[in-house]
Structure 1
Amino acid sequence: MNKITTNAFHPMQLKISQADIGYKEILISGADAQLQSGEVCLLIGNNGVGKTTLIRSVLHQIAILRGTITLGDKNIQELSVKEIAEYIAVVLSKSAIPQNYTVNDLVSLGKYIHYPFYFELSKEDQKEVRETIENLGLQQYDATPLKNLSDGNLQKAFIGRALTQNSPVIILDEPTTHLDEKNKIIILKTLRKLAREHHKLILFSSHDWRLAKEFADKIWYIKDRTLHAGMVEDVLIRHHELTDPSLFNVNEYFKAPHIIAPPLYKEMLYSLLQKNSTADLSHLSFEFMDNRWHIDAKGNGYQCGSFEEILVLVKTLH
């Protein structure tokens, strides 16, 4: 077996070098990126750009078209399926539900990657399974069949299985999709704690770039067949479309005004105006100061104290 070096002097590293990623057609060209033990990385990009394909390439479920992907000091292509399973715990967005399994059964399953399935888990293993279930807030569902769980709790149970696997790398494809805000934060705080305290390397995909600011160290952002990789803050600063409300443009005829405001207020105003107007508003300027909106329309000044007042004003300025 080709053992990967993971001691203190050789921390786990996932490295992509000059890789073309796709099936017959290239989705990501010339990708270069790397992650180290202790880092959390958010993989982001629009639907169809290759996020899941990139994950499957890292898992060597599909071959890359050019370049290399290395895990530790080994080319991923040199590792067997069993070795990859030992070093990488995976939570996919669409996982098959084992028939008649309970939450405890599924979370325990993570342990059997290390043993023949007929083995009985040790007391230490069983204790870790219980602690994982409690940390995810699933203790009341311990003996509940998976088929009776909500989508959110089912997702948390699959994440629990990955955690008990105790692999140095954890990869999650859209892990927070079915979770409400409270459970989303539980999962992300758990992942960050694993990275910091247990030196895990964690890569997870999502459509929500906002998660990166609070929970991730790195971003891998796929756009125009290119993988933009780096520190969260560096990538966000270089790609304003990630933080600009125009990312959510659903009205092709709408011409946006100039808006100076905190991000949340800016996004709310942008959404309000494009939902209710197809006009060219580029001649207007909005600035949020002292809890009021100050509007300039070709030299004429107005003030509004609410979004409702803004909507009324804009209709008179058409």
Structure 2
Amino acid sequence: MLLQINQTNIGYDKTLISNVNTHLNLGEVCLLIGNNGVGKTTLIKSILHQNSLLKGEILINNKNVTKLSVKEIAENVAVVFSKSIIPQNYTVEDLISLGKYIYYPFYFELREKDKQEVKKIIEELNLNEYKDTLLKNLSDGNLQKAFIGRALTQNSPIIILDEPTTHLDEKNKLIILKTLRKLAKEQNKLILFSSHDWRLAKEFADKMWYVKDTQLYSGIVEDVLIQHDELTNAALFQINDKFVAPQISAPRVHKEMLYSLLQKNFQKDLSHLNFDFQNRFWMISYNNSEQQCESFEEIVKFIKKLH
């Protein structure tokens, strides 16, 4: 176990997450998830020993983080926070090269081997055309990728990222997450990243840390998801108090789409309806009758006519 958290209370003046007991190994990708304000960033800062624990201990490679120097923590953990100070006169290549600073004296010029590593990471992150661009001239998405690149060049066994995909479009989000998973599996890195999107866990993470009601629930992604309906429930966003959902049997995406559609359009009780998605068609059962609809538009028209 490379990272261990034992009997730990995490917070500042008050406890945000209590009695945390969990661990992660090399080669694992873990998603840290929870609502705003539950303590995700505080947990990350506690691992880095930037925030004191209220109780318990955190170990990196069997060493208490309180006993590690700043340099030793940097050698073990590379981190990217969602809000980072931007060196205005640095280019993308300059920033990514900075990940090597812990291995050099104060003033340094990269060895050829390190230059090639920086070049490779720039290519993997699709930043070639921006390598000589000043950071202040980058879009939010490319800036975020540059900071992630700096963490990758640090070559630490643990990489922690605080909401790394917040400013990224779908294409760049996939590039980042695929790169992180590839690092974990091919270079035996431990990757911990936070996000608000549980769907990322299903595709990219091995483990999940879910913070809710001052507790941290940890385990294999699928085990945690199946134990917490609110993470996968199509009714996660309840915007219509008068709406009562029908029974919906369909693949996840179709179920979520139908739920959103009905909630937006009908302020009424639809619990007497039963929707079943079969062979590209929606079969709607009601009062011992059945109606077939091919599109969501047809569904809306049918229910308006029905009611």
Q: Per the alignment, in what secondary structure is the counterpart of residue 228 of structure 1?
A: strand
Q: Of 60, 66, 78, which residue of structure 1 is paired with 2:67?
A: 78
Normalization by structure 1: what TM-score?
0.93
Instruction: Give yes or no for the alignment of 1:221 onto 2:190.
Output: no
Instruction: Give yes or no for the alignment of 1:154 onto 2:143.
Output: yes
Counterpart Cα distance in 2 of 1:228 and 1:253? 33
Q: Which amino acid aligns with 1:54?
A: L
Q: Which amino acid aligns with 1:291?
A: R
Which residue in 2 is equivalent to 1:56?
A: 45
Counterpart Cα distance in 1 of 2:36 and 2:214? 13
Instruction: Give yes or no for the alignment of 1:93 onto 2:93.
Output: no
C-alpha deviation, 1:317, in angstroms: 3.5
Cα-to-partner distance string for 1:102-122 (whole Å, 9 max, x where unaligned): 001000000012212212211
Q: Of 239, 249, 262, which residue of structure 1 is paired with 2:238?
A: 249
Q: Which amino acid aligns with 1:160?
A: G
Instruction: Give yes or no for the alignment of 1:292 onto 2:291.
Output: no
Which residue in 2 is equivalent to 1:4?
A: none
Superposed, 1:54-203 pairs within 5 Å as 54-203=43-192
Q: Which amino acid aligns with 2:184?
A: A
**265-274 or 79-88: bigger deviation:** 79-88
Q: Which amino acid aligns with 1:146?
A: L
Could you tell me the percent identity over the aligned residues? 67
Q: Which amino acid aligns with 1:264?
A: V
Which residue in 2 is equivalent to 1:47?
A: 36
RMSD: 1.2
C-alpha deviation, 1:284, in angstroms: 1.6
Counterpart Cα distance in 2 of 1:252 and 1:176? 32
Counterpart Cα distance in 2 of 1:197 and 1:243? 30
Q: Per the alignment, in what secondary structure is the counterpart of residue 268 of structure 2?
A: coil
Which residue in 2 is equivalent to 1:3?
A: none
C-alpha deviation, 1:207, in angstroms: 0.9
Q: Which amino acid aligns with 2:203?
A: E
Q: Which amino acid aligns with 1:116?
A: P
C-alpha deviation, 1:301, in angstroms: 2.2
Cα-to-partner distance string for 1:22-56 (whole Å, 9 max, x where unaligned): 11121111111110000000111111211111111
**194-203 or 232-241: bigger deviation:** 232-241
Q: Which amino acid aligns with 1:205?
A: S
Counterpart Cα distance in 2 of 1:250 and 1:81? 47
Q: Per the alignment, in what secondary structure is the counterpart of residue 33 of structure 1?
A: strand
C-alpha deviation, 1:253, in angstroms: 2.9
Unaligned runs of 5+ in 1: 1-11
